[in-house]
A and B are shown apart, each in its own frame.
Chain A
Amino acid sequence: MIDDASLSAWCEAMAALLDLPVARADRGEILANLRLIARQIAIVAEVPLDDLVEPAPVFRA
Chain B
Amino acid sequence: MTLDVLRASAGQIATAVSTGQAAARAVTAAALAQVDARNPQLNAFTDITRDRALAKASALDAAPRGPLAGVPYAVKNLYDIAGVVTRAGSKINRDNAPAHADAFVVEKLEAAGAVLLGALDMDEYAYGFTGENVHDGNSLNPHDQRHMTGGSSGGSAAAVASGMVAFALGSDTNGSVRVPASLCGLFGLKPTYGRLSRSGVFPFVASLDHVGVLARAAADLALAYDAMQGRDAADPAQAPREVEPVTPLLAQGAAGLRVAVAGDYFRCGGRADCFAAVDIVASALGVTREIVLPSAAAARAAAFVISAAEGAAFHLARLRQRPQDFDAAVRDRLFAGAMIPAEAVLRAQKLRAWFRDRVNALFADVDIILTPATPCRAPLSGQKTIEIDGAEVPVRANLGIYTQPISFIGLPAVTVPLWTPGEHLPIGVQIIGPPWREDLVLRVAYELERKGIARAPVAI
User: 6 pairs across A/B with beta carbons < 8 Å?
Assistant: A36-B397, A41-B347, A44-B301, A53-B354, A55-B349, A56-B349
A5 at the interface (CB under 8 A from B): no
Whether A21 touches B347, Cβ cut-off 8 Å, given contacts A43-B301, A44-B305, A59-B356, is no
Whether A11 touches B339, Cβ cut-off 8 Å, given contacts A30-B332, A53-B350, is yes
Q: How far is the CA of A45 from the CA of B409 in the complex (A)?
A: 18
Whether A49 touches B347, Cβ cut-off 8 Å, given contacts A18-B339, A20-B335, A30-B336, is yes
Interface of chain B residues 387 through 418 with chain A (CB within 8 A): 394, 397, 409-410
Chain B residue at minimal CB-CB distance from A23: B323
Whether A20 touches B338, Cβ cut-off 8 Å, given contacts A44-B344, A45-B347, is yes
A10 in contact with B339 (CB, 8 Å): yes
Q: How far is the CA of A59 from the CA of B237 in the complex (A)?
A: 9
B: number of interface residues (CB 8 Å):
48
B320 in contact with A21 (CB, 8 Å): yes
B239 at the interface (CB under 8 A from A): yes
Chain B residue at minimal CB-CB distance from A59: B410
Q: How far is the CA of A51 from the CA of B120 in the complex (A)?
A: 44
A interface bracket (residues with beta carbon within 8 Å of B): 35 or more
A19 at the interface (CB under 8 A from B): yes
- Closest CB in chain B relative to A26 CB, distance in Å: 6
Q: How far is the CA of A34 from the CA of B328 in the complex (A)?
A: 15
Q: How far is the CA of A41 from the CA of B295 in the complex (A)?
A: 14
Whether A47 touches B295, Cβ cut-off 8 Å, given contacts A40-B304, A55-B353, A57-B207, is yes
Complex contacts, A47 vs chain B, CB 8 Å:
295, 298, 351, 354
Chain B residue at minimal CB-CB distance from A34: B336
Q: How far is the CA of A54 from the CA of B346 in the complex (A)?
A: 10
B419 at the interface (CB under 8 A from A): no
Whether A58 touches B301, Cβ cut-off 8 Å, given contacts A37-B308, A37-B340, is no
Complex contacts, A61 vs chain B, CB 8 Å:
192, 239, 360, 434-436
B353 in contact with A20 (CB, 8 Å): no
Interface of chain B residues 334 through 366 with chain A (CB within 8 A): 335-340, 344, 346-354, 356, 360
B297 at the interface (CB under 8 A from A): yes
Complex contacts, B302 vs chain A, CB 8 Å:
40, 44
- Closest CB in chain B relative to A50 CB, distance in Å: 8
B316 at the interface (CB under 8 A from A): yes
B333, B394, B436, most chain A CB atoms within 10 A: B333
Q: How far is the CA of A58 from the CA of B208 in the complex (A)?
A: 9
Whether A14 touches B339, Cβ cut-off 8 Å, given contacts A33-B332, A43-B301, A45-B347, is yes
A49 in contact with B339 (CB, 8 Å): no
Complex contacts, A39 vs chain B, CB 8 Å:
301
A55 in contact with B339 (CB, 8 Å): no
